[in-house]
Chains A and B, each alone.
Chain A
Amino acid sequence: MTLPQTVILPEMPSLSKLYVNAAAQAARRRLLGAHDTATLPAEGHEVRGVKVDVENLTAYQHLIGETASDVLPAGFIHALAFPLAMSVLNRDDFPLPLLGMIHVRNSIEQRSPLVFTDLLDATARVENLRGHRAGTQVDVVVEVGPAGTGRVHWRGVSTYLAKGVFLPGIDKASAAEPKADFSAPDPTALWHLGVDTGRAYAAVSGDFNPIHLSVLSAKALGMRRSIAHGMYLASRALADVGPARGDSFAWDVDFEAPVFLPCRVALEISTEQGGAGAWKRSTFVAWNPRSGRRHFRGTVEALHEAHGLPVT
């Protein structure tokens, strides 16, 4: 899975350094003016032989509501490779400001299970720079597999939106897609998210983005309160789908409205069965039980149904 042009990093980069660097970069751009290229770096980043810390894995599993098995949860792999993904967005030749980008969609294929004793190779690259009615979107593609095999067991595509950023040569997407009215179904679950939800997920995922940590740190970045990590919410929904999903599945989520903390989130998970009563797909949708506003929705689907058998 080595890309034509790949920078091999000696180890998984430090997220906190990346955030500091991003803040410095944002200040620099403000002073010197944004650079006006509309091309993505062709180079990807790679880290080889990544080791999983089993204590961190257990803490993640317990927080998310997964049984602490030896198999790495799909959301855990996302968190594990997240600093690598951020390092690509943090490059000087990446045309969008990293801070303030909004995670709008996430699509993961867990093709075969990975266990915590595996050493892992991970690559990250950006692609598909495109317009959005509210700014510019980009996809970050991360692939993870057992070290030295070249096989991809896990593939994640995270779509980010740089709101209010319009680059020359990138067309603004045409008018907004008509938003279907959402009326809340009967819930099958209710999450009680405390004000420390963001800090708890930061501790297991390493993502200490200030917008998730406290009211004060969030306000410093222009939010009225701290918000839950999108991948925390999506990972809990995946855990709630339960063991029916098996070892290989496609897991997609669309994030719509941020979840301000503390709050309650109502959830509906419904299951679709294929032939012979086997599990085929679960869909989930989450909303604010007070306002009825939808927070996110997605699906977990048997992989051979969704995308054909894994190609490695």
Chain B
Amino acid sequence: MTEQELTPMKPADLRASSASANLRKRQTTQKLSFGLLWLASLIVVLVLVVVVGYVFITGFKSLSWDFLTTAPKGGLSGEGGISTTIITTIYLVALILVIAAPLGIGAAIFMIEYQEQTKAGGKFVQALLQAANFGVETLAGIPSIIFGLFGYALFVSTLQFGFSLLSAALAGACLVLPTIIRTTQEALLTVPVSLREGSLALGATRWQTISKVVLPAAIPGIITGIILSVGRIISETAVFYVTLGGSYRLPNSLLSGGRTLSLHLFYLAMDTNAFEKAMGTGAVLIVSIIIINLVIDLISRKLSAGVRQQQ
């Protein structure tokens, strides 16, 4: 688009041929560039295939029923399996969700469903709502090691919960809170206003409307958010590295430490160089992430099918 268009007009026949030459040149450039874009995307897919493929192929050597069901025995080459770390991961996921899900869903309900009341209502609530939005935005961007540092300072040291499931769960709850709030907000926003108006017009209170009309309609979206958080917790390592302690024994109370799958992978690789077992653990992690992605995909497909039906 530079000099060629600015050159003086030529006789008609010449112009026609130069115009088509120009077009041909532009089309060649386009073909080449599109080729490069295809190549870039191919590289991205290849990176995934290489990483996942490598972890699977080397990891499957150590994967077996025994590996999944025996407890780690520690030692210099990371003897034993991964059973206790799987159970600890499940404990931690459950604990974090018990803490974060009600709070996150509640926060989202307030931020979406009580908006107009707030506009009419006091300045205090309005300021609070703005602060809450800022809070969610900020939390979502804070790196996990900062949550770890915070959890270490507040729960491990100040409140003296020590390196424990409880400390890790509280720090982890802060980590997934923004995910749950955001996905719930989106789910609530997809519920048509007319449903709420209908319910309110029938004499239902605000809370009756929310609990009996809005929430049932938003459930699939909310569940998606919770499953996303499960994925986040399973892959998270930094937070738990500084709050959970790292013992490979099974925790027997809220105040005892433990080791999640991803933490176990880290220790295997860094402390014992048991790379084959680490790869096996990595394969288990990737399989769980793939399952989580598939479930989320399934729900969102069902959701969009439902929306189409309604229309």
Note whether A and B form a binding pair. Answer: no
Q: Could you list which residues of chain B lie within 8 angstroms of chain A, going by C-beta atoms? A: none
